[in-house]
Structure 1
Amino acid sequence: MVEAVHAAADFADIRTLPPEFATPARPIDLGEAVTRVIDIRDFAFDPEFQCRAMIDFFLQRLGVAAEQLPPNWRRNSWLASRVRPARPALPSGYVLVCPKASMRLREMPDEVHAHILRRVLAVGPVVTQGAVPDALSRDVIHLEPCATLDELCGIVRHARWIISTDTGMVHLADAFGIACLAFFPTHRPEWRVRDYPRTLSFELSSRLPRGIEFARGPDDYALARSSWFPNGDDLGWLDRALDEAQRSFGGGG
């Protein structure tokens, strides 16, 4: 999927280099005249990346100050015109729930996912990328993993609104101007969605270091889980977040 996004960026010449292409002892040499090489490998380990808006980090590496660009230029809307979102065989007006993340540390606990599914069924059809509890199997549609970027963009583009943890699906929602309720277990929302006008974000209270990208050990998974349950089994905070999303997004997509 990442390579498909790169391929959609027709304003750039994308070249995939072998991992052994460059080392500290052998710098990058493209064999042709280049003005500048910008190396952003391993950015997730860079302390600057872990404490600022992601787009600002990349712009700074390109030598551009973020404040020089209007907010709309710091969004993902460039992608919408460069893909062909396939219309999914799903009922119209569905809410898409995305409980999975790029890593287990940021995923929704099963109980949180099930609570969201039950609540959102009152809004309309519900589609989820996660497992559907047996009690909801007749009411909630489970979505198999998408095979192509066009297919993935299609389920985003045609959703009424989206509920997601982590930011992969949040970035796609912004690309198509789809309203999104986003939960942040490990990062400050402004580091990822500051420039997204249709994203309603909630930062979870966590004892994990802010900006942590990878679990340091088994205890981190327990800390990540506990951030979803600040008041024990009482998920009133989640109900309030869903109520605010419904007031903000209504029936529009």
Structure 2
Amino acid sequence: MTTTLDDVHALTHAGSLLSPGGEIVAPYDLEVAHADASGFSALPADILNAGRAPFDADYAQASRVHLVNAFGVTLGDSIIGLSALSAVKRLHPHLRFTIYRPARAPRHVQRLYALAAPRLADLIDLPVPLASLPADEPKIDIGNQLFWPRFASMPMIDFFLWAMGIAPDSIAAGDKRNRWLADVPLAAIERAPYALFCPDASTPVRSIPASMRARIVARLADETGMPVLGFGAVDHPRYRDIAPLCIDTDDFLAWIGHARYLVTADTAALHIAAGFDVPTTAFFTTIPAFMRARDYTNCVAVEFALPHLQGIHASARPADLDAIERAYRDYDWRAMPFAREASLSPASR
């Protein structure tokens, strides 16, 4: 017997949903549409869900695999999910994937999937009738991963591999570095060498405080000897705001991919830089660096010791932002690390 979920539990369900009419639905689409989610239920057991019951996928015997509601609705999560998919395809080049995506996901995220699709997967928008998925092909649900307990306790690339039924340790570290991005053609942009500054993350609590940005730009310009380009206004003579020139995902990829060095608090920018082997200094406030940058050999991390903020996905609360401001203000900027060797060595706090 199928148990229906109430409105709250449906939106926070660790997986995708089945509508009363028999359609597979993304909880995100219901939330964005402010739709009533009561009466929905979990997907049936023949759609594998590692959070419900871990499994080992037999990809060698499959020709097509259906990934339901993969891999989230943010740019960073999607880059990592597609890296997991790319790693599986390297092991099993005969495989073809179909990804069923939330139709209301942000356009800049959907564009990433469109760029990846020719090589990695076919794309279909949710909702779709449950009956439209072939009964004799593997079907895996990775929906609403933010609410899976392991999403907060595993490096993200390992989480997505595990959710796809692959032992993370079976994948070489080199295959976890988003190298599939190097196959995406980059637009021609600035010809002169430049360093890049990406201070804004998806939430204020993970962003670099505005009061500290000029100091970081100065340190970056002094260290690299290059002009610094970046996203957003910074009052410094060696800095240029290129935000007006970055209007879509293609532009964002190009500006990062062509950079000689990157300083960022945005993990999406970090993941892109790793794909193009751009040396990077990354700042972490609410999540340990190893959870996002463990496999990036050309990245160094600055981690701020803020235990009361660990694990927070988003916040703009004044008390939280004050704590971030103090951490950045008290940091010894003369010790800000730069990627010199192939190692990730977070700065101690």
> TM tier, shorter chain?
0.7 to 0.9
Letter in 1 for 2:243: E
- Counterpart CA distance in 1 for 2:209 and 2:288 is 20
Alpha-carbon shift at residue 192 of structure 1 (Å): 0.5
Q: Counterpart of 1:171 in 2: which secondary structure?
A: helix
Q: Normalised by the size of structure 1, how large is the TM-score?
A: 0.82
Distance 1:139 1:156, change over 3 A: same
* Larger RCO, structures 1/2 (Cα 8 Å, 6+ apart): 1
Correspondence 1:181 to 2:288: no
4+ residue runs of structure 1 moved beyond 6 angstroms? none
- Counterpart CA distance in 2 for 1:169 and 1:34 is 39
Task: Report matched runs for 1:1-253 at 5 Å.
Answer: 1-9=108-116, 10=118, 11-18=120-127, 28-33=130-135, 35-81=137-183, 83-88=184-189, 90=190, 92-122=192-222, 123-133=225-235, 136=236, 138-145=237-244, 146-215=246-315, 217-229=317-329, 231=330, 235-236=331-332, 238-241=333-336, 244-245=337-338
1:192-225 deviation line (CA, Å, top 9, x unaligned) = 0111111111211113342221228543333333
Q: Counterpart of 2:324 in 1: which secondary structure?
A: helix
- How many corresponding residue pairs? 230
Alpha-carbon shift at residue 66 of structure 1 (Å): 0.8
Letter in 2 for 1:239: R
1:137-162 deviation line (CA, Å, top 9, x unaligned) = x4311012522333222211221100
1:148-179 deviation line (CA, Å, top 9, x unaligned) = 33322221122110000031100010111111
Contact kept in structure 2, 1:106 and 1:186, CA below 8 Å: yes
Q: Counterpart of 2:140 in 1: which secondary structure?
A: coil
Distance 1:224 1:45, change over 3 A: farther
- Counterpart CA distance in 1 for 2:151 and 2:111 is 24
Alpha-carbon shift at residue 227 of structure 1 (Å): 3.1
Contact kept in structure 1, 2:231 and 2:242, CA below 8 Å: yes
Alpha-carbon shift at residue 246 of structure 1 (Å): 6.7
- Counterpart CA distance in 1 for 2:149 and 2:320 is 19
1:23-58 deviation line (CA, Å, top 9, x unaligned) = xxxxx4434335343322222232211121001111
Q: Counterpart of 2:139 in 1: which secondary structure?
A: coil
Higher strand share: 2
Contact kept in structure 1, 2:300 and 2:339, CA below 8 Å: no
Contact kept in structure 2, 1:51 and 1:211, CA below 8 Å: no
Distance 1:51 1:246, change over 3 A: closer
- Counterpart CA distance in 1 for 2:248 and 2:282 is 23
Question: Is the radius of gyration larger for structure 1 or structure 2?
Answer: 2
Q: Normalised by the size of structure 2, how large is the TM-score?
A: 0.61
